[in-house]
Chains A and B, each alone.
Chain A
Amino acid sequence: MQRVVVTGLAAITPIGNNLQESWSNLLKGVSGIGPISRFDCGEYETKIAAEVKNFDPKQFLEPKQVKKLDRFCHYAIAATKMLLEDARLNIDSELEENLGVIVGCGLGGLETIEDFHTKLLKKGPRKISPFSIPKLIANMAAGQISISIRAKGPNLVTTSACASGLHAVGYAYSEIKLGRVQAMITGGVESTITPMAVSGFNAMKALSTRNDEPQKASRPFDKDRDGFIIGEGCGLLLLESLESALNRGAKIYAEVVGFGASSDAYHMTAPIEDGSGMELAMRKAIQEAGVSPSDIDHINAHGTSTKLNDLCETRAIKKLFGPHAYDILITANKSMIGHTLGAAGGIESVFSVLSLYEGKIPGTLNLDNPDEECDLNYCPYHSVSKEIHFALCNSFGFGGTNGSILFKKFTS
């Protein structure tokens, strides 16, 4: 088995169009939530979202690519370019066959589907572009990353709703651990702030409708939360075998030491109430690392700001960690970046790794009155400076799917 390390990071988020800006705003407690600008949401219950702002795809893509790819692929290609720069990775002919791409994407080109379907109904089937299907399929994110940098290894997208990005990181890690490839580009991407997504989530009563106070709308673990905020973006990691990283003298951010995946086997959208599915995913990740629950000092929670998630996740943490649960520094990035759906596990893995690397844990915004049952240390409002050794990152998705990945502070 190979040891696997993180040697590159990149992010495009509602609080920054690159890694440094996103991370520093996260530590400062900046909210990326505001009125929806992408479409006229006059009739919609929810009129706010966490949009990526002032992103110019032309900075990273050829004009033809900008036109023929959906926004989620713009983010994926742009983040990949920043990732390789951060990792100082030179892809030669030997590496290209040993470099794969597994990224998560929950829905893919929903905006494209909606646009083309409108055109189909108005103008008929002959007016549908040959680029409609390639533009909308979710796995085009991995395909375009590969094409843009000549990564010829395994290439796919994981689609497990809001756990897509997390599962991608987990299975990318496993590929390297098993020795199948030398390095993987992984993480998650999503861009679906569209009429269909907002109305669909609204119908489920899943989204916050605190339209008059957007920056206070995402409040994980708080008693007054009323749903999540739809977000978008991309978070990527370069994972590499330790041997490969040492050979090329790469900067090592952290080691990946465990991955757990599980299913609630219970309900389409509601997590199982005792949190046992979430607990199983976390437990498996910790078991794979061969450490004890009491070694874990940080959890980057799924923390969506929905009542069901926050309660069940808290129960799962208490079930697994017992009294130690109260000693763990927990945070919910979604309080600032919203719920970036399939990108969440990628973006939040990036932030978990930075927490380990820099010894800084972002706070959870808007946690004014914690729910009675949510009585753990969620680092309300302010970031905490503390050297930590193990960071667990959680993502859970519709369908009852769960994922948890464990990062360790790197020591040779």
Chain B
Amino acid sequence: MSVEEKVKEIVADQLGVSVDQIKPESKFVEDLGADSLDLTELIMAMEDEFDVEIDDDKAQEIRTVQDAIDFIKANT
């Protein structure tokens, strides 16, 4: 599974939305209904899956699905 697909799968699972709803430009809060607790847990789930560390400052910058994909590709 590609990074893109895996990220979408994690987002779908964490935020309770279907994969079809998730586009690269989807914003976690505005488009996918995440709150601050969801965002923290989403970051943790990506850390687990891709074995990366995402510090709090970096996490603040990850606002869309594409942001997450880019970060993971650059850091794994």
Q: Which residues of A contact B (CB under 8 A)?
A: 62-67, 127, 129-131, 134
Whether B44 is near chain A, meaning CB under 8 Å from some CB there, is yes
- Nearest-CB distance from B66 to chain A (Å)? 22
CA distance A131 to B37 in the complex (A): 7
Within the complex, the shortest CB–CB distance from B28 to chain A, in Å, comes to: 13
Asked whether, in the complex, the Cβ of A131 is within 8 Å of the Cβ of B41, the reply is: yes
Q: List 10 tightest A-B contacts by C-beta distance, closest first.
A: A64-B16, A63-B16, A130-B37, A130-B40, A129-B41, A62-B16, A130-B41, A131-B37, A131-B41, A64-B15
Give CA–CA (A67, B10) in the complex, Å. Answer: 13
Contacts of B14 in A (CB 8 A): 67
> Which residues of B from 7 to 57 have beta carbons under 8 Å from A?
13-16, 36-38, 40-41, 44, 48
Q: Complex formed: what's the CA distance from A311 to B1 in Å?
A: 64
Give the CA-CA distance A127 to B14 in the complex, in Å. Answer: 15
- Known A130-B37, A131-B37, A134-B37: A67·B44 in contact at CB below 8 Å: no
B32 to chain A, nearest CB (A): 10
A125 shortest CB reach to chain B, Å: 12
CB-based nearest A residue for B43: A130
Give chain A residues whose Cβ lies under 8 Å from the Cβ of B44: 127, 129
Q: Which residues of A contact B13 (CB under 8 A)?
A: 67
A215 to chain B, nearest CB (A): 39
* Complex Cα gap A82–B36 (Å): 31
Residues in B whose Cβ lies below 8 Å from that of A131: 37, 41
Q: Please report the total number of B residues contacting A with Cβ < 8 Å.
A: 11
Contact residues in B for A64 (Cβ distance below 8 Å): 15-16, 38
For B12, the closest partner residue in chain A by CB is A63
Q: Which residues of B contact A (CB under 8 A)?
A: 13-16, 36-38, 40-41, 44, 48
Question: What is the chain B residue whose CB lies nearest that of A133?
Answer: B37
Q: List the B side residues contacting A127 at CB < 8 Å.
A: 44, 48
* Chain B, residue nearest A64 (CB): B16
A-B contact pairs, 14 of them (CB 8 A): A62-B16, A63-B16, A64-B15, A64-B16, A65-B16, A67-B13, A67-B16, A127-B48, A129-B40, A129-B41, A130-B36, A130-B37, A130-B41, A134-B37
Q: How far does the alpha carbon of A129 sit from the alpha carbon of B48 in the complex, in Å?
A: 12
Q: Determine the distance from Cα of A72 to Cα of B14 in the docked complex, in whole angstroms.
A: 20
The distance in angstroms between the C-alpha atoms of A127 and B44, with both chains bound, is 7
The answer for the CA separation of A66 and B37 in the assembled complex, in Å, is 16
What CA separation (Å) do A130 and B41 show in the bound complex? 6
**Complex Cα gap A131–B45 (Å):** 13
Chain B residues whose C-beta falls within 8 Å of the C-beta of A67 in the assembled complex: 13-14, 16
Instruction: Chain B residues near A134: list those with CB within 8 A.
Output: 37
B29 to chain A, nearest CB (A): 14
Instruction: Identify which of B13, B37, B40 gathers the most chain A CB atoms within 10 Å of its CB.
Output: B37
Residues of B within 8 A of A62 (CB): 16
**CB of A381, distance to nearest CB on chain B (Å):** 46
Cα distance, A115 to B18, chains bound together (Å): 27
Q: Which residues of B contact A66 (CB under 8 A)?
A: 16
Using CB atoms, name the residue of chain A closest to B34: A64
Residues on the A chain within 8 Å of B37, using CB: 130-131, 134
Please name all residues of chain A whose beta carbon is closer than 8 Å to the beta carbon of B36 when the two chains form the complex: 130
What is the distance, in angstroms, from B71's C-beta to the closest C-beta of chain A?
18
Give the distance in Å from the alpha carbon of A63 to the alpha carbon of B15 in the complex.
Answer: 8
Query: How far does the alpha carbon of A154 sit from the alpha carbon of B4 in the complex, in Å?
Result: 46
Bound CA span A63–B38, Å: 13
Give Cα A127–Cα B16 distance, bound, in whole angstroms.
21
Task: Kindly state the separation between the CA atoms of A130 and B48 in the bound complex, as whole angstroms.
Answer: 15
CA gap between A66 and B40 in the complex, in Å: 18
